[in-house]
């Protein structure tokens, strides 16, 4: 139980109607979860408006209502707290309810279109090597030692987020690497978290169904950096065209730009790529980190994973870890499920499952596979299986079709998560971006498991089959039904027997 007057002080309301005293039993933004003496926060979502459920919350026992506008019906025994922004109010109330759980934890936020999951997992591995009790919050879920919570969003609502940090604190977690989505920044879900560091990976086309244009998308990402304090650490990929726009407004005094050009603070050099590992050097043009160079060998594939490893390494070094701790933990790190995950196939081909679901991510995954094939002494073909999600940015569909047809030798267009969109329409929109010449190498098979089987039957020894778009997901959403489906499981049907 918490005193409502303390909550009111934190929320700095425009108006309070009703008694400003009493005890609250819980904080809710879903009216169904309300109980006697609950504080109900009415937030406006993309589909539903919590203000329409105030009566339902009160019927279930809620006595304290946080809202942006007063409802028509006022209950004299209830307290109505009118605020400017209900989502910010939810974050403040949740933070208070869980006793400010991030105040004694080092939290690093990772934002950008691609690379967030891999970097957060890398940071967890590196920190654990140094003896820290590390946790991760992101696309695959929230987890730490002996703790796992599956999430529906990359960055959950503020209430769930602060509950996770509360749970982490109870098991002694002292470092958290967290994926921070543009939606969560724009909606204030991470408001109140004292980030000690932040990483920017890249910005490419995605989520334009929500942000409308790239400028709005970039502005949302910049919120993370603008809200850092002076002592925070910023690590950013310098070669991205949006980097200055996103990080220039930060008050953080410790900033490190990583890139392949010589004017970066940390320069990536001498990259070597293979099917089993990647090697490169980091050259430090700044004296603040305390070393001049670092050679890294990683199990992660591709040029884009060099960037991910480099960003995570520089952040860890800036946080005071020793170079050997960073090197050794990266060399042991096996990767993230569904991120360039390899499956050896019976016919001598290699299957790779990746979460690439944006034009840039698909391009980078395909280029990585092509680079591996080119550097191999054996000739092999590149086969790509992918689709696009329904009810998501349709503008990227023809772009991804063109990219796949230009880089792969064969393309199998199939369903991703069509949701309530017509699956055939989605595939046709992808197909529309492919040139007449490119269409000669494309086949359409809507059933995803049949598409993967077709790709396997098409393949032979030394080929690579890239199955892109779903990565770690173990489901497929068709209509409103979520079916069990895993790209990895489908490929393993044709895989080498594991002993």
Angle separating helix axes 423-431 and 396-407, nearest 10 degrees: 60
Largest CA distance in the chain: 80
pLDDT at 498: 60
Is a pLDDT exceeding 70 seen at residue 161? yes
Count CB-CB contacts under 10 A for residue 303. 16
Q: What is the DSSP string of 413-455?
A: E--S--BTS-HHHHHHHHHTTS-TTGGGGEEE--SHHHHHHHH
**Which DSSP helix (H) or strand (E) runs through 81?**
strand 79-82
Cα separation, 395 vs 421, whole angstroms: 15
Domains of the chain in start order, with CATH, are 2-95 (3.40.1390.10), 106-332 (3.40.1190.10), 341-492 (3.90.190.20)
End-to-end Cα, the chain, rounded Å: 54
- The least confident of 89-103, 143-157, 375-389 is 143-157
pLDDT of 211 > 60? The answer is no
**Residues 6 or more apart whose Cβ sits within 8 Å of residue 250:** 198, 225, 226, 228, 232, 234
How many helices (H) and strands (E) would you count in the chain? 16, 26
Whether the Cβ atoms of residue 11 and residue 92 lie closer than 8 Å to each other: yes
The 10s digit of each residue's pLDDT in 113-154 is: 888 999 999 999 999 989 999 999 998 889 998 899 888 776
Residue 403 and residue 363 in contact, taking contact as beta carbons nearer than 8 Å: yes
pLDDT of residue 209: 63
Predicted confidence at residue 438, as pLDDT, reads 96
Reply yes or no on whether the pLDDT at 499 is more than 70.
no
Question: Is the model's pLDDT at 351 over the cut of 90?
Answer: yes
Residue 377 pLDDT grade (very low, low, confident, very high; cuts 50, 70, 90)? low
Confidence tier at 183 by pLDDT (50, 70, 90): confident
* Residue 411 CB-density burial (10 A; 0-12 exposed, 13-18 middle, 19+ buried): buried
The stretch 371-399 carries a mean pLDDT of 90
Grade residue 206 by pLDDT with cuts at 50, 70 and 90. Answer: low
Q: Annotate 84-114 with three-state secondary structure.
A: CCHHHHHHHHHHHHCCCCCCCCEEEEEECCC
Taking residues 429-454, what's their average pLDDT? 97
**DSSP secondary structure letters along 331-397:** HH----TTSSEEEEBTTS-EEEEE---SHHHHHHHHHHHHHHHHHSSS---EEEEE---TTS-TTHH
CA 442 and chain centroid, separation: 30
Q: Do residues 493 and 448 make contact, with C-beta atoms less than 8 angstroms apart?
A: no
What is the DSSP code (8-state) at residue 285?
A: -
Give the CA angle between residues 186, 190, 194 to the nearest 5°.
130
Q: pLDDT at residue 30 above 80?
A: yes
């Amino acid at each position: 139980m918490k005193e409502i007057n303390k909550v009111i002080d934190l929320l700095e309301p425009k108006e309070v109607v009703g008694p400003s005293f009493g005890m609250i039993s819980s904080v809710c933004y879903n009216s169904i979860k309300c109980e006697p003496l609950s504080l109900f926060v009415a937030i406006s979502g993309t589909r539903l408006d919590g203000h329409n459920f105030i009566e339902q919350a009160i019927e279930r026992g809620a006595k304290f209502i946080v809202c942006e506008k007063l409802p028509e019906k006022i209950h004299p025994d209830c307290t109505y707290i009118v605020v400017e922004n209900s989502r910010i109010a939810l974050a403040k109330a949740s933070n208070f309810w869980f006793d400010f759980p991030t105040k004694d934890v080092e939290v690093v936020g990772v934002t950008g279109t691609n690379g967030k999951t891999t970097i957060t997992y890398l940071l967890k591995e590196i920190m654990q090597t140094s003896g820290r009790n590390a946790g991760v919050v992101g696309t695959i879920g929230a987890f730490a030692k002996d703790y796992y919570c599956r999430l529906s969003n990359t960055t959950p609502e503020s209430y769930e987020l602060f509950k996770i940090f509360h749970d982490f604190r109870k098991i002694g977690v002292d470092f958290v690497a967290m994926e921070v989505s543009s939606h969560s920044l724009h909606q204030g879900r991470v408001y109140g978290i004292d980030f000690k560091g932040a990483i920017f990976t890249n910005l490419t086309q995605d989520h334009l169904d929500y942000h409308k244009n790239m400028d709005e998308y970039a502005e949302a990402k910049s919120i993370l950096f603008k809200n850092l304090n002076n002592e925070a650490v910023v690590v950013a990929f310098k070669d991205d065209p949006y980097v200055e726009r996103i990080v220039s407004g930060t008050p953080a005094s410790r900033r490190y730009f990583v890139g392949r050009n010589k004017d970066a603070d940390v320069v990536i050099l001498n990259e070597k790529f293979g099917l089993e590992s990647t090697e490169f050097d980091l050259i430090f043009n700044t004296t603040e980190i305390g070393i001049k160079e670092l050679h890294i060998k990683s199990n992660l594939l591709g040029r884009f994973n060099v960037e991910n490893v480099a960003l995570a390494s520089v952040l860890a070094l800036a946080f005071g870890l020793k170079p050997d701790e960073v090197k050794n933990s990266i060399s042991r790190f096996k990767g993230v499920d569904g991120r360039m995950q390899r499956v050896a196939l019976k016919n001598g081909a290699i299957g790779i499952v990746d979460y690439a679901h944006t034009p840039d991510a698909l391009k980078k995954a395909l280029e990585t596979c092509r680079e591996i094939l080119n550097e191999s002494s054996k000739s092999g073909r590149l086969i790509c299986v992918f689709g696009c999600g329904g009810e998501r940015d349709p503008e990227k569909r023809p772009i991804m079709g063109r990219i796949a047809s230009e880089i792969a030798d064969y393309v199998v267009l199939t369903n991703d998560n069509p949701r309530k969109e017509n699956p055939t329409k989605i595939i046709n929109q992808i197909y529309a971006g492919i040139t007449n010449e490119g269409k000669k190498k494309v086949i359409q098979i809507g059933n995803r498991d049949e598409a993967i089987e077709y790709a396997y039957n098409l393949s032979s020894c030394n080929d690579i089959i890239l199955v892109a778009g779903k990565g770690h997901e173990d489901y497929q959403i068709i209509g409103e039904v979520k079916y069990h489906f895993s790209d990895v499981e489908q490929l393993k049907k044709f895989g080498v027997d594991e002993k």
